[in-house]
Amino acid sequence: MAKAYTPGLLVTRHKKHRIMRRLPIAGDVQVKVNQQVTADDIVAETNLPGDVHPINLANTMSLPPADVVTCMLKAEGESIALDEPLAESKGLFGMFKTVVNSRYEGTVETVSPVTGQVIIRGAPLPVQVKAYMSGEVVNVTEGEGCEIEADVAYVQGIFGVGGEIQGNIKIACVSHDQDLDSDLIREDMKGCVVIGGARMTASSIRRAMEVGAAAIISGGIDDHDLKELLGYDLGVAITGRENLGITVIVTEGFGDISMAERTFEMLREFEGRLASVNGATQIRAGVMRPEIIVPLEAGPPPAASGKFEEGQLEVGRTLRVIRDPWFGMIGTVSGLPTEPHVLGSGSKARVLEVTFPSGEKAVVPRANVELIEE
């Protein structure tokens, strides 16, 4: 087998990271190439067309649709205020006229002679796109958005809820395998990105929301606690639009699981620095994982370790088992048998042999491990 691709989550101390900031519809990009931006800067702005309100004048005025046009007091494109007369019927010899007032504010967009419907468009809704990550604008697509690049430390989580936010990193747990409980959340964590160790409890998330933390990050979370936090049972892992007031990210998975030691140590190193955090997760085609970005001073990228090719299974590589019965355990590859192996479930699958730090060895399907990128 030439290439055995087993993706892992990216955790790196230093990389050149580029993000695309894009408007939902065409608008103005307010930055130029080579401009330095900070996370809070607005890089692009536009007005979303306002809400559309159809009014059926043909019915309201008991008219054939084709006659509606002749009764309009406002032409297409004219603006109209609330309760301002919109149309008036011809009446009988100039008497018994019916006047219809607009129930909406906006501009008359169309008057349809086919349906007798008038469409009034409300005021445009301004939309602003922030830089999200401090760095340098490297590319501008006029009218659409820009690309920002920076040297960053980058941690990919496995799952998160909540959207983009910034804050200073604050470490709450002393070690990577300590549960994050509510007593570890302190008042001075307001606006901070709180880093925990192993499982975060529901009470710790509530407490973090109370003190006004920007984000809370730890190794694992119980499904039950997540359900309590969201108020519903999450069906598909497409998140990022929750309005919780806090962004929650787990780096490893559900249940009692500690954060990878390397991740924890790296974040500890960056304590106090400003981090950009996004909990948006989309596990589907076009997979999106939650991320923690810590912008660094620009500098030459560190020499690539070069020990292993990215995404390549080889003897000696560190990996994590991601399915029971050894869920969450970290070990090294000690054998890569080529022949498919019959599992306890009775299925045949390609496997590998992994050695855990305790010296115990196990045979695990290749599908059930993920590489820890170094």
Partner 1 sequence: MTNLDPDKIKVILATDCGSTTTKAILIQYVDGEYRQTHRGEAPTTVEKPFADVTMGVVNSVTEIAELAGRRLVGDDGRIISPATETDGCDIYISTSSAGGGLQMMVAGVIAEMTAASAKRAALGAGSIVMDVIAANDGRRPHDQIQRIRDLRPDMILISGGTDGGTTGKVVQISELVAPAKPQPRFGSDYSMPIIYAGNKDAREPVSEVFSEGGFDLQIVDNLRPVLERENLGPARDKIHDIFLEHVMAQAPGYDKLMGWTGAPIMPTPGAVGDILQTVARLQEINVVGVDIGGATTDVFSVFDETFNRTVSANLGMSYSISNVCAEATMPNVLRWVPFDMNERELRNHVKNKMIRPTTIPQTREALMFEQAVAREALRLAYKQHKEFATTLKGVQQQRTVGDTFSQQTSGQTIVDNMKLDLLVASGGVLSHAPRMHQTAMMLIDAFEPEGVTMLAKDSIFMMPHLGVLSSVHAKAAEQVFDRDCLVYLGTSVCAAGTPKPGKTCFKYELTGDRTASGEIIGGQMLLIPMAEGESGTISLAPARGIDLGEGPGKKVQKTVRGGTVGLILDGRGRTLTLPEDRSSCQSTVQGWLDALDVYAETTESMAV
Partner 2 sequence: MTRVLCSLLILLGVAPCIAVGQVVDLAPPTDVAASDVPDDTGGQIAVKWGLSPQDRPAADGSNPVLSYVIYRKLVQTGRGLESGAETDAGAGEIIFTSDFDYEANRPVGSVPYSVTEFLDENVEGGVTYVYAVAAAGPGDSFSPLAVAAIPVTAKMQYINQGKLWFLIIMMVISIVIVYFVFYAKRGGKIKVRPIAGLEAVTEAVGRSTEMGKPVLFVPGILDINDIQTVAGITVLSNVARTAAQYDAELKVPTARSLVMTTARETVQAAYLGEGRPDAYNEDNIYYLTDEQFGYTAGVQGAMVREKPAACFYMGAFYAESLILAETANSIGAIQIAGTAMPSQLPFFVAACDYTLIGEEFFAASAYLSNDPEQLGSLKGQDVGKIIAAFLLILGCLLATLSTVLPAVAPLRMADLYIMNNVLGEDGLIPDEERVTMLNNEINELWEAQKAEPAIDEGAN
Residue 55 beta carbon to partner 2: minimum distance, rounded to whole angstroms: 7
Tell me the C-alpha distance between 68 and 76, whole Å.
Answer: 13
Give the H or E element holding residue 332: strand 330-335
60 binds, among partner 1, partner 2, none (CB under 5 to 8 A by kind): partner 2
For partner 1, which is the closer residue by CB, 122 or 191?
A: 122
Residue 117 beta carbon to partner 2: minimum distance, rounded to whole angstroms: 10
Q: Which residues bind partner 1 (CB under 8 A)?
A: 1-3, 5, 24-26, 49, 51-54, 65, 109-110, 112, 114-117, 119, 121, 144, 158-159, 222-224, 226, 233-237, 253-255, 281, 283-287, 322-325, 327, 342-349, 353, 360-365, 367-368, 370
For partner 1, which is the closer residue by CB, 94 or 346?
A: 346
Tell me the C-alpha distance between 176 and 292, whole Å.
Answer: 17
Residue 236 beta carbon to partner 1: minimum distance, rounded to whole angstroms: 5
For partner 1, which is the closer residue by CB, 316 or 344?
A: 344
Tell me the C-alpha distance between 176 and 17, whole Å.
Answer: 26
Residue 168 beta carbon to partner 1: minimum distance, rounded to whole angstroms: 28
Q: Kindly report the CA angle at 274 between 289 and 286, in degrees rounded to 5?
A: 15
124: cis peptide before it, omega within 30°? no
Residue 341 beta carbon to partner 2: minimum distance, rounded to whole angstroms: 53
38 binds, among partner 1, partner 2, none (CB under 5 to 8 A by kind): none
With tokens 């140590």, the residue in question is 265
For partner 2, which is the closer residue by CB, 114 or 236?
A: 114
For partner 1, which is the closer residue by CB, 37 or 217?
A: 217
For partner 2, which is the closer residue by CB, 74 or 170?
A: 74
Tell me the C-alpha distance between 215 and 247, whole Å.
Answer: 4
235 binds, among partner 2, partner 1, none (CB under 5 to 8 A by kind): partner 1
163 binds, among partner 1, partner 2, none (CB under 5 to 8 A by kind): none
Residue 26 beta carbon to partner 1: minimum distance, rounded to whole angstroms: 8
Tell me the C-alpha distance between 220 and 374, whole Å.
Answer: 21
| CA distances (Å), origin 3, targets 27, 351, 353 | 44, 15, 17
Token pair, residue 111, equals 């008057």
Tell me the C-alpha distance between 86 and 108, whole Å.
Answer: 9
Of the candidate residues 1, 3, 62, 324, the single one contacting partner 2 (CB under 8 A): 62
Per-residue interface string for the shown chain with partner 2, residues 42-61, x marking contact by CB under 8 A: -------------xx--xx-
For partner 1, which is the closer residue by CB, 210 or 310?
A: 310
For partner 2, which is the closer residue by CB, 54 or 163?
A: 54
Three-state SS string over 149-170 comes to EEEEEEEECCEEECCEEEEEEE
Pairing of the two strands 247-254 and 215-221: parallel
Question: Quick one: the chain helix, strand, coil %, rounded to 5?
Answer: 15, 40, 45
59 binds, among partner 1, partner 2, none (CB under 5 to 8 A by kind): partner 2
Per-residue interface string for the shown chain with partner 2, residues 146-185, x marking contact by CB under 8 A: ----------------------------------------
Phi and psi, residue 85, nearest 5°: -60, 135
Give the H or E element holding residue 351: strand 351-355
Q: What is the CA radius of gyration of the chain?
A: 28
Residue 36 beta carbon to partner 1: minimum distance, rounded to whole angstroms: 26
- Position 118 contacts partner 2 (CB under 8 A): no
369, amino acid identity: V
Q: Which residues here bind partner 2, judged by CB under 8 A?
A: 55-56, 59-60, 62
